[in-house]
Structure formats: structure tokens, C-alpha cells
Structure 1
Amino acid sequence: MSLKNKVQLITYPDSMGGDLRTLNAILSEHFLDVFTGGVHILPPFPSSGDRGFAPLTYLEIEPRFGTWEDIRAIGEKFDILIDLMVNHISRQSLYFQDFLAKGRSSEYADLFLTLDKIWEDGVPIQEDIDKMFLRRPLPYSTFEAGGKQERVWTTFGKTDPSEQIDLDVCSTQTRQLLRTFFENFKRQNIKIVRLDAVGFVIKKLGTSCFFVEPDICEFLDEVKALADSLALELLPEVHAHYSTQFKLAERGFWIYDFILPYRILEAILTKNATELKRYLTIRPHKQFTMLDCHDGIPVKPDLDELINTELARKVVDICVQRGANLSLILSDEHKAEDGFDVHQIRCTYYSALGEDDDAYLASRAIQFFTPGIPQVYYTGLFAGVNDLNRVKETGEGREINRHNYTVEEINLALGEEVVQRLLKLIRFRNTYPAFDGEFQVLESPDSEIRLRWSKADKSCLLIVDLSSKHSVIQYIDKHGLLADYRI
């Protein structure tokens, strides 16, 4: 299939009304002409943690969300993007529970990375661990399995032992399991599969165990061949130095633009678009663009060597003053020389911009004019503010941008001027024909940005004045006349 160059929605299965059936009703009533690019439904599977990202299986839907029938019903109107946590599966999955009961005699034992697959005697060496890009203090967890102690690789997880057990992607058994999951997605009318945490799948001593080349590329090529055979699109999710993303783009993959959210934020907060404009001239076009998501605004390592850390600290400080919290880099080796260690800024994008409607609409306009497929996270759709109470209740910093909206809250949000302005902008992005044409970054003062699209007799020019935060689109209308659309 070919992806539609239209705006997509990102939402949890229960964040817009409580379940998939209500989500379908809301999408059908309010957003049929808005999210014509599709809907990314964050993991709707049975899960034991990390808000869906510790899945027990991909063959079932969590009953409190609904059924596969509900997914297929949404898929009749919208192309659906779904996540596959290719790096790991839940500790509570039948696969790992069988391993815990039977140990190495389990029929699923080879799915997992016991440490003897990494270190010959199964004893970890700290010198090797020090080189790794860690997401927790140690990359393994210890379990009692089949009556003996087993140490198993676990990249992620805040508990010890972790809820997220890494899969051994070099195992034939794991490859077959992934095939089973992909084939089920095809049957359920899924169109796009996002490979979550794919950068961590290769573990090799002497490396960072993150995006290990050429092994990772060989693995991705194999998965792409599988996806192609089922007419599914792939979207690898890799938070890494920008050059890593660019390598994936060179190999023909869709990639995420994890640089754009910070660059736009920096430009608006500092009223200077110099670095943003420079970036827009060098980035690959085959990207999914976003400003906000279920995690945070990426900083390191995505923008390593692209940002001035002194300026970055000022940007981060403004966000923190506005209620944000931070995810930090664990490994000293991956911190900046001056100690700057911000991995992600956790907040809503609307709050990061001081809940300023004009600034927020300017940021969305720049995103929509940037080449690629734009995604809008559901809290961004409703111009949501930081949910500090959820952070206090759960102790999870990312919950600041994960508010669950009731139907009543959605109806109220739809009445807000800022939301109606955003919906109008999305409709323009979806329907104006020049967005399938040629893109240009035009010369402009540092405090201004001018982005132009043109195709045949149609063209549209976005002008954002960062000093006033006002934005206007000059475009050729259906009568061939020059028109102004003040966002």
C-alpha cells in the first residue's frame, strides 16, 4: 500500500471516551474529514505494564478496550497504525510464564536472551555493560525458572525484575512468532506497523547494544520483506543520533522526525528560526512528523551535535517552569561534555508554549508545512494542558501528557476556539493539492519563517512571524486568485 499524505491521529484505545467502540463513534461523528491520513492506536493489547507497552500477546485485544471487531470497524474508515514491541514481550505472557515453570525445557525457552547467549559462562562483565546505552541500571533481570536461577536480558522496565522481557531476534522461534503477529495484523485490516524500540534488538559485546550495524539493518530488511509480502507499511521507531535516522531513510524506510518538535519549540520560545530553517533544508522528506506523543519531546540523543546545550538548558528551564518534568540519560558516556543529560521533556506541547493559542497554531502550521506525514497526538488535538494530578497519583512523569478524555470533555474541547482553529488548519493541510508538489524554505529574517509548496497552478506560502506569533497562509484559491488565510 502507499501511505496517504494526510494528517493522522495518535491516541490510546481508552483516551477518547474510554474504549474502542466509543473512539469509533467519536471519530465518525467529528473527525471523518480530519484524520484522513489514519489513526495510530497505541497498544490495545493485554499488557502488564508501561501503559500497553508490555504486551502479553498481539493476538487478542484487552477486553476492557473492546475486540478485534472494534478495530476492524475503525479500519473501515481510517487506515490504522498499530505498535509491535519487537524488542520485548510481557513477563506475564504465556511464553515467559511457561519458561518460568519449566526453565530450559520450555518449548518457548529460545525466545528469550538468557545471559549465556551473551557471555559464554552467563556471568555479566561490568566493563561490557559500561559501554551499553542503558535504559535501566542493569540490562538484565534475575528469575527462578524451572527450579534454578536464570538471568534474562531486560532492556526496559522500572521494576526489578522487569515486566518487559527481551526477545532473542536471532532465534528462529522468535522470527516465526513475529510472522504470526504480522499475519494477524493483516487479517485485522491493519495498514501500518510501528516497530517500537527496534534499535535495541541486537545485543553484541563491545558495542552500545543500540542500533548495532550491520546486524540491525539486516534484521530490518528481513522484517520489511515480511511486511511487504503482506502489503503492510513499516515505521521503525528509533531514538538515536540523527545520522542513524538518516541511514534508515537512505534504505527506503519511513522514519520519525524526532528533531522537529524541539527545533520548532526552540524557534518559538527564542523567536529565532535560524536553526529550524537550516534543519528543514537537510532533512529527508520520507518522515512522520509530530510535536507531541505518549512519551515526551525528544532532546538527547536525537539532537546530539545539533544543539547548543547552553541554549537547550534555557529551553528546558522554560518548560520546567511551565510544569514539565524530565526524563534523563542514565549512562555518563551518553551525556554532553558539560553534563547536559535531558533525554525528553515531558509536558503537553500547548503547555510548553505557555498555553498561547497563536504560538501553538504557529507550531502546528510549521509542522504541517514540513514535508512528511503529520501526526497529532490526542492531547494536542484538544490543546490539552499538563495533567499534574495524574503525575502525583501515579508517580509516572509521562502521565503529564496522557489525560483520558470523557465524551463530555471532548465536546467541551471541541467548542474551544483554539481547537476549531486547529481543525480548520488540518483540513487545509489535507485538501490543498500543492502539498503533493515541491517544497521550498524561502529566505527570511531570523525572526520569521517562510515555507512554500507548489504544484502546477496551485501554491501556498506559510509566513510565521515569531515576534508576534502570528501566522498566515497565502494561497491560490479555486478561482486562481491569491487569498490570505490567517491561522
Structure 2
Amino acid sequence: MTPQQNANQIQLITYIDRLSGGTIKDLHTMLQGPLAGLFDGVHLLPFYPPIDGEDAGFDPTDHTAVDSRLGNWADIRALAADYPLMADMIVNHMSAQSPQFVDVLEKGEASPYWPLFLTRDKVFAKDAAAEQLAAVYRPRPTPFFTDIALKDGRKIPFWTTFTANQIDIDVSSAAGKAYLQAILDRFTENGVKYIRLDAAGYAIKKAGTRCFMLPETFEFIAALSEQAKARGMLCLVEIHGYHQTQIDIAKRCDMVYDFALPPLVLHTLFSRNAAALKHWLDIAPRNCITVLDTHDGIGIVDAADYQGQPGLLTDPELDSLVETIHANSKGSSKLATGNAANNVDLYQVNCSFYDALGQNDQQYLLARAIQLFCPGISQIYYAGLLAMPNDVELLQQSHVGRDIGRPYLNAEKVAAALQKPVVQALCKLITLRRSLQAFNGDFSQQLTEHDYQLQWQYQGHRASLHIQLASLAATLHWQAPDAAAQSLSLEALYQSVL
């Protein structure tokens, strides 16, 4: 089944323990209980040991294992029997605490794992020109090389794209290829249907380049996607960057993220102007996963310009967007963004989408309606499903910026959140969206000075979202063949749960 044929879907993206408060079995119970009927599939964020590492599971010590605190592979298989599962394949790096890297520290070049890891000298000459090093694209302000001491006292500059605890893999080496194959094997054995290639844009390094999204990177992604496809899996490529890059990647893989959508939806609601959003949806890939919020922050670079090429939003529009987010969150997003927090990123604002909209229920429901009417598979983050505010307390405990949008919940907290009117209205909206066959068909949109419409039609089935831009009042319309047309305003939907 192609992604296009599979597009009329809604997926949940979640950490296992941060939603269920416990294990894979607990999450399975929750999906079949209070969350029943909402999702067609589940993206499980890293469940490899350790789930509480420096980067919340994205620094695995063993990518082929399940953290025992969550359960085991049998639990994954049981969940996969009921819900198509997506799992992260972290292709760029692994933990400095992994047995393989510990062996390298012990034995140096004599370790069989020495070829698995990337050092500066494997890419650059020792006397590499400063401009070559300066050209490397940095997702974070930390150094991309970290001098790490071997047992014999030598300090080796290992490549660390993200943190000093995440050692980059040499994916072009035989050891790197074997490592990735072992992950694919384990996923295949345990029923994973989708894999997300995490940080794939950084996987190929080449002297004299930005070491990001090179022609060789496209080849690497395409080859890995073909290997997954041969095993019956589909690949989602995770890249934050210039919007044309997403368009180019989409032609070479199964699926890409629509990371431009979150800032464009916010801009539309803040400015009451949908021109930028409409332009993007005119040219955006259709084989995409749409998001508003994720386990990361709200991407900004995805709508920005690049090397003189215009972005989807101008610099002043992006500046206004960021400042409005900070104002709406009453400054809490500033505590988690930029140099205010560790593990920072250069391309995002760390803030829950609910707080980015100032906890305005009506605007939040409209933002979700727009997402659900955009082409692609709709993926909803667990904190967004429950309209969670910024978790400032967790941020203050961990000092990790992204944690402001990664709350720890349990069955009781989920039950309480499900009673909130905005959450009940969102669940009704999701249920309605899943019931309409129009989304199996063709998408179109219309923009006038005062109104914006997103429309779908399929074999006589029709559905549309009509937005009055000045007031942000919105109405859903739908009709099945040989049936009366129906309509429901988002205000009426919200009032129905009060």
C-alpha cells in the first residue's frame, strides 16, 4: 500500500511512559480504553535503553533492545497486532555509553568497533582549513567535534553532531552498514510497519561541504528506504530545513514531515492572513505526515529563507511569529528556547502548541481542524491531543529545553485532561474526520480577501472547512452521495461539550 493510498489516517505520536505513566502494556490498555476510536496507528518515540538518557531515548546504548522498564519485544508485537506501529531508526549516532563505544575507548583502533564511529580525521585532514570547518551546518551551538580520551591517554576528536553523549556513526563503513541492518532486522521481526529515519540529513559527511543534505545523503536515504520497503516497511524521513529540500526529498522516499505547517498555521491565525499557508499547500508534497507539535519544538527554519532564496515567511513575519509565541506563553517559551536552556536547537521554539496560542480553546481547535484538512497523514502528539500547557516545572528540574513540551502523565492525569472541553471537542473532530470518505480523494483550496476554504471530494463524498479570516470563525461542511448536506461550526462543536 502506498502512502497516498494510506493517507486518510490519523496517528498518535507519543512516548510510552510519558503518556501511560508505565509500560507498553499500559499504553496498549489506554489506546483500547479512553483513547479508543481515535487513531489508526501509533508512532512510538524511542523505547530503547535508556529512555531517560541525555536526549530522551535518542541516545541509545542498544538500538535493538527495549528498555526493560517499558516491557519487551513481545509487548511491541502485541501492540503492533492492533495498531500499525512507527519506530525511530536513529541513523546518525548512538550513545557514548554503548558497549561498542566503551570498547573503542578501551582498545582504540584495535577495537572491532573502531570503524563504526566517525572521527574528524576520517573526514577532514588534520590541517583542514578553517573555512572548511566553518562551512559545516550546525543544528546546535555546541561543537561538532568532541575530544574524548582513550584509555591510553590519547584524545580523539569524535564527531558529535548533537551532544557529546551522541557519537556519530560512520554509515559508509561496513560496521555502520551492519549496525543499521541489525536495527532493520529487529524491526522486521517485531511487526514495525513504519520507520522514521531520525537525523538522516546529517548522516553523510564530506570535506568541503555543509555536511548536511548532500547528493550522497539523498542516495543514502533512498537506499535505506529501499531496504525497508523490501521488508514490507515504509520510511518517513525527518529533516528540518528549507522547504524546497522537503519537496526534493519527498520525490525520493515514501514520506516526509510537513514541518512548515506549524509556523504557517500560527502565522495564519496571528495575522488573519492565509496567503502563505495556501501557497505552501499548493506546492507541498502529498506523501507527508502533518504535525502541529512534536516531541521537539515548533520549527522556524522550515519556513525561513536560505542562502538568498525566499522562505515561506519573511524575516519580519518570523520575528513577529516568535515574539507572539513568547507573549502568548507569558514568557515560558523563552525559558526553554535558545541559550536559556541546555540541549538547545537553532531552528525551533520550545513551546507547546496550546501555549503558543495563549491557551485559546477556539483557536486551538481551529488549528487542529486546519491540520486535519491538510493533505497527508495527520499525526497528533500526545501532549497536543490533551491540550497540555508548557511544563515549566519539568523544565526547571531537567534544564532541557524540549522537556517543556514533554510532560510526564499517567492514567489519572489523562482522564482529567480528557474532561477538558477543548480536548473533548478535539476528540469529536478527530472522530468526524475519520468517518468521512471524502479524505480518500482530491484536495483543493480557495482563498479570497475574507475567506479561506480547504476542500476534499471523492466519488461523490465532499468535505470542506470554511474559515472567515477576520473573525476566525470556522464551519465544517460534509455530504455523502444521495444524502443531505451537513454543517457544523467549530463554535457549536465546542459548545456541545460544555
Give the equivalent residue in structure 1 for 2:227: 226
Judged with a 3 Å threshold, the aligned counterparts in structure 2 of structure 1 residues 387 and 154 are, in CA distance, closer, same or farther, namely same
Give the deviation of 1:136 after TM superposition: 3.9
Q: Is the 8 A contact 2:275 2:447 kept in 1?
A: no
Structure 2 Cα separation of the partners of residues 186 and 253 of structure 1: 17
Q: Secondary structure of 1:462's partner?
A: strand
Give the deviation of 1:116 after TM superposition: 2.1
Return the letter of the residue paired with 2:192.
I
Q: Counterparts in 2 of 1:14-413, with a 5 A limit?
A: 14-19=17-22, 20-36=24-40, 38-47=41-50, 48-120=53-125, 122-123=126-127, 125-134=129-138, 135-147=140-152, 148-157=154-163, 162-213=164-215, 215-304=216-305, 305-321=311-327, 322=329, 323-325=332-334, 327-328=337-338, 343-413=347-417
Q: Is the 8 A contact 2:477 2:488 kept in 1?
A: yes
Structure 2 Cα separation of the partners of residues 342 and 151 of structure 1: 23
Q: Is the 8 A contact 1:115 1:123 kept in 2?
A: no
Q: 1:474 aligns with which of 461, 474, 477?
A: 477
Structure 2 Cα separation of the partners of residues 216 and 302 of structure 1: 22
Q: 1:424 aligns with which of 425, 428, 437?
A: 428
Give the deviation of 1:318 after TM superposition: 1.4
Q: Secondary structure of 2:56's partner?
A: helix
Q: Is the 8 A contact 1:328 1:343 kept in 2?
A: no
- Structure 1, unaligned stretches of length 5 or more? 330-340
Q: Is the 8 A contact 1:115 1:124 kept in 2?
A: no
Give the deviation of 1:387 after TM superposition: 1.1
Q: How far does the alpha carbon of each residue in 1:173-227 deviate from its partner, in whole angstroms, 9 at most, with x for none?
A: 11111111101001111110000000001111111111111x1122112111210
Query: Percent identical across equivalent pairs?
Result: 34
Q: Secondary structure of 2:301's partner?
A: coil
Give the deviation of 1:232 after TM superposition: 0.8
Moved more, 302-311 or 238-247: 302-311
Return the letter of the residue paired with 1:99.
V
Q: Secondary structure of 1:137's partner?
A: coil
Judged with a 3 Å threshold, the aligned counterparts in structure 2 of structure 1 residues 126 and 328 are, in CA distance, closer, same or farther, namely farther
Structure 1 Cα separation of the partners of residues 478 and 299 of structure 2: 33
Q: How far does the alpha carbon of each residue in 1:219-249 deviate from its partner, in whole angstroms, 9 at most, with x for none?
A: 1121112101111110111111111111111
Q: How far does the alpha carbon of each residue in 1:301-332 deviate from its partner, in whole angstroms, 9 at most, with x for none?
A: 55322211112212111111223136459xxx
Q: Secondary structure of 1:281's partner?
A: helix
Q: Secondary structure of 2:156's partner?
A: strand
Name the Cα RMSD after superposition.
Answer: 1.7
Q: Is the 8 A contact 1:84 1:194 kept in 2?
A: yes
Structure 2 Cα separation of the partners of residues 80 and 112 of structure 1: 29
Give the equivalent residue in structure 1 for 2:496: none
Q: Is the 8 A contact 2:38 2:427 kept in 1?
A: yes
Moved more, 299-308 or 371-380: 299-308
Return the letter of the residue paired with 1:259.
A
Structure 1 Cα separation of the partners of residues 268 and 389 of structure 2: 21
Structure 1 Cα separation of the partners of residues 447 and 352 of structure 2: 31
Q: Is the 8 A contact 2:303 2:313 kept in 1?
A: no
Structure 2 Cα separation of the partners of residues 91 and 408 of structure 1: 36
Return the letter of the residue paired with 2:376.
G
Return the letter of the residue paired with 1:10.
I
Q: Is the 8 A contact 2:274 2:447 kept in 1?
A: no
Q: TM-score, normalised by structure 2?
A: 0.91
Give the deviation of 1:455 after TM superposition: 1.0
Give the equivalent residue in structure 2 for 1:440: 444
Structure 1 Cα separation of the partners of residues 203 and 379 of structure 2: 26
Structure 2 Cα separation of the partners of residues 328 and 273 of structure 1: 28
Q: Is the 8 A contact 2:201 2:217 kept in 1?
A: yes
Judged with a 3 Å threshold, the aligned counterparts in structure 2 of structure 1 residues 71 and 211 are, in CA distance, closer, same or farther, namely same
- Structure 2, unaligned stretches of length 5 or more? 306-310, 340-344, 491-498
Structure 1 Cα separation of the partners of residues 128 and 61 of structure 2: 27
Judged with a 3 Å threshold, the aligned counterparts in structure 2 of structure 1 residues 124 and 404 are, in CA distance, closer, same or farther, namely farther
Count of matched residue pairs: 468
Moved more, 470-479 or 5-14: 470-479
Give the deviation of 1:392 after TM superposition: 1.4
Structure 2 Cα separation of the partners of residues 119 and 440 of structure 1: 49
Judged with a 3 Å threshold, the aligned counterparts in structure 2 of structure 1 residues 468 and 291 are, in CA distance, closer, same or farther, namely same
Judged with a 3 Å threshold, the aligned counterparts in structure 2 of structure 1 residues 252 and 119 are, in CA distance, closer, same or farther, namely closer
Q: Secondary structure of 2:347's partner?
A: strand
Q: Is the 8 A contact 1:136 1:156 kept in 2?
A: no
Return the letter of the residue paired with 2:160.
T
Give the deviation of 1:469 after TM superposition: 2.7
Structure 2 Cα separation of the partners of residues 6 and 482 of structure 1: 23
Give the deviation of 1:253 after TM superposition: 3.2
Structure 2 Cα separation of the partners of residues 128 and 13 of structure 1: 42
Give the deviation of 1:251 after TM superposition: 2.1
Deviation >3 Å, runs of 4+ = 1-4, 122-125, 326-329
Q: Is the 8 A contact 2:237 2:253 kept in 1?
A: no
Q: Secondary structure of 1:152's partner?
A: strand
